Amino acid sequence: MKRRLAISVGAGVVRAILVEDSRVAWAGSADWSDRPELIDSIGRLASESGKMVRRACIVLERDVVQLRTLAPAPPLQPAAAQRYVALEAERLFRRNGDSLVTDAKLVSIDKQNRALFAAAAPEQMLEAVLTGCDEAGIAVDTIGPAAEVVGHAALDAKPALDLAFPNGGTSELVSIGIGGAWRSRLVQGTHEPRATLHPALEALGADAMHFASAFGAALKAPSMQLLPAGTRAARELKARYSALRLGLFAISVWVIAVVVYTARLTIAGRSARRELAVSAATVDSALTERRELDAARRTLAEFASIERARSRQLTTIAQVTHALDDSTF
């Protein structure tokens, strides 16, 4: 059974959903107003699920993350999108006195057009979310914008379509392209038509739309990563350490294999030499007997050859004698 925990963080509320094989096994929410409450809410929700979950996917809802779309996209390579947005963060996003963590990706709108989809979130809030998960014993696989994955909670998510997700007094309009979500707009009021949600999500009743972001993240994690610089550096260091440890382990295995192979060859050589030394007398005796047998065989062959020659000579003499008359003598 594949079990996935996803948590969505919105303004003043945290929602968590546990999905087992595309079925909602549990869903819960908790309010928060400051950093300590946010940390506590995540830990409380993690314990309320009643099932052992070690990893989670975190998404940030539209009211706590800033999203920008540049269409058409600047002439960038996909690998350069993140660096471009980091350099242009002052122009694209509002800081409000907080340090921002940014990420971006290029999304294909159709076969001819691309858009740059960028996201930014306050670093302090991200650190609080990560701290809450860490205290709850949950490893965070990814943390990104909910707009990138909320479309997976809808059945009618198709290219060239805008999906509306009402949430309280506002609605999030998500534009879908052939490469996925490429634009998100937050509008006042309830926008129609609403997105048709997944049947497993509809089972939650009136709260189904509120859990759409978390459900979409449980089905597919966002590709944009809003990890603070310290966390990103720690993960890269851990990945390098793991790669180094794996490399050392592989080298150790090869060294052990070479040593064992060499030792086995040495032992086998010594054993062969000992056996040859023990059987040297027997081998010499066998070789002597073989030589004597070969000599006897050659002697017998010579006798047989002489016998055949003698028989031919006697036959010839008899024939000559028979052919001569008696008066010849």
Tell me the per-residue pLDDT of 222-260, one tens digit each, with 9 for 90 and over.
Answer: 999 999 888 877 878 888 888 889 999 999 999 999 999
**Most confidently predicted of 18-22, 283-287, 304-308:** 18-22
Pairing of strands 161-167, 139-145: unpaired
3-227, CATH topology level:
Nucleotidyltransferase; domain 5 (3.30.420)
Percent of the chain with pLDDT over 70: 97
Smallest CA-to-CA distance from 227 within 238, 216, 242 is with 238
Per-residue pLDDT, averaged over 266-285, amounts to 85
pLDDT band at 14 (very low <50, low <70, confident <90, very high): very high
Contact between 154 and 166 (Cβ < 8 Å): no
User: Sign of torsion, CA 51 54 55 58?
Assistant: positive
Check residue 1 and give its pLDDT.
61
Q: What does the alpha-carbon distance between residue 76 and residue 71 come to, in Å, rounded to a whole number?
A: 12
One-letter amino acid for residue 315 of the chain: T
Higher pLDDT, 227 or 326: 227
State phi, psi for 115 to the nearest 5 degrees. -130, 150
Q: What is the mean pLDDT of the segment spanning 27-53?
A: 86
Residue 328's pLDDT band, with cuts at 50, 70 and 90, is low
Contact 34, 52 (CB under 8 A): no
Provide the pLDDT for residue 103. 93
Nearest to 221 by CA among 140, 129, 124: 140
For residues 43-74, b (16+ Cβ closer than 10 Å) or e, as one string? bbbbeebeeebeebbbbbbbebbbbbbbeebe
Which range scores top for mean pLDDT: 37-41, 117-121, 290-294?
117-121
238 against 17, higher pLDDT: 17
Q: Which residues pair with 167 in a beta bridge?
A: 170
Can you give the pLDDT at residue 217?
92
Query: pLDDT tens digits, residue range 122-133?
Result: 999 999 999 998
Give the DSSP H/E element, type plus range, for residue 168: none
Average pLDDT in the chain: 86
Give the torsion sign (CA, 298, 301, 307, 309): negative
| Region for residue 12 given its phi and psi (left: phi exceeds 0; alpha: psi -120 to 50; beta: otherwise) | left
Residue 168 has pLDDT above 90, yes or no: no
Tell me if 120 sits within 8 A of 93, measured CB to CB.
yes
Mean of pLDDT values over 55-82: 91
H or E segment to which residue 195 belongs? none
Residue 326 confidence (pLDDT) above 70: no
pLDDT of residue 167: 78
* Phi, psi dihedral angles at 41 (to 5 degrees): -65, -40
Count CA atoms closer than 13 A to 181's CA, side-chain side.
31
**Position 188 pLDDT exceeds 90:** no
Cα 1 from Cα 23, distance rounded (Å): 11
Q: What ranges do the domains of the chain cover? A: 3-227, 280-328
Mean pLDDT of 259-266: 91
Percent of the chain with pLDDT over 90: 34
